[in-house]
Amino acid sequence: MLTQMHHRHGVKDRKDGINLTNLDDGQSGIIVSVMGGEMLTKRLADLGITTGKEVKVIRKTLFSGPVQIEVAGSKLVIGWGLASKIMVKSNER
């Protein structure tokens, strides 16, 4: 059900997160959880994508293309599917 809902602030997840793709360009949030297998979460952790970190969406692309983010002081590009596995609590409002 979660993935079908695309309202920006409407999607609720455990721990009250929305997935990263629901943030607008320029918005940031605090990571509440990273869903995914062991290898993937480890790999993301190496890049500083871990619970409690602030992450900013620099820009998204058309048609669910990759997402450019800033986390742990560095700029990264991750695939849309991956971005949708990172749950954040929006800093806005």
Partner 1 sequence: MSGDNKINIVLAGQGNSGKSTVFNYLTGLHQHIGNWAGKTIEKAEGTLFYRDHTIDVLDLPGIYSLTTVSEEELISRSYIIKQNPDWIINVVDSTNLERSLIFTLQLLELERPVIIALNMTDLAKRKGIAVDVKKLQNILKVPVIPTIASRGSGLTKLVDKVIDLKTDKSARIIHKYGKEIEQGIEELSEQLKGIDLPYPLRWIAIKLLEKDKDIRAQVSELKPQVIESSLRIMEELEEIHGHDSPLVIADERSLLASRITRETVRIAKDRKLSLNERLEALTTHKVTGYLIMILILGGMFLAVFSFGNWFSEWLDSIFLGWHDLWQDRVGTSFWPALGWSAIESVLALVQIAFPYILPFYILLYLLEDWGYIARISFLMDKFMHKMGIHGKACVSFIIGLGCNVPGCLSCRIMESKRERFITAVLVTLVPCSAVSVIVFGLVGKYVGLLWALGLYIFAAVLIFIVGKIASKLMIGEPVELIMSMPDYKTPNIKTIFSQTWDSLKEFIYIAAPIVIVSGVLIQAINLAGWMPAIASVMSPVTVNWLGLPAVTGILLIFGILRKELILVMLAAYLGTTNFNEVLTSQQMITLAIVSMFYVPCVATISVLWKEYGWRKALVITLAETAFAIVLAGLVKRVLDIFMV
Contacts of 29 (CB under 8 A, 6+ apart): 18, 20, 23, 54, 55, 88, 89, 90, 91
- Smallest distance, partner 1 to C-beta of residue 65, A: 4
Which window, 4-12, 16-24, 72-80, contacts partner 1 (CB under 8 A)? Answer: 72-80
3 contributes a contact to partner 1 by CB under 8 A: no
Cα 20 to Cα 14, 48, 61: the distances in Å are 14, 15, 13
Among 3, 4, 7, 52, binds partner 1 (CB under 8 A): 52
* Residues making contact with partner 1 (CB under 8 A): 33-34, 38-39, 41-48, 50-53, 59, 61-66, 68, 72-82
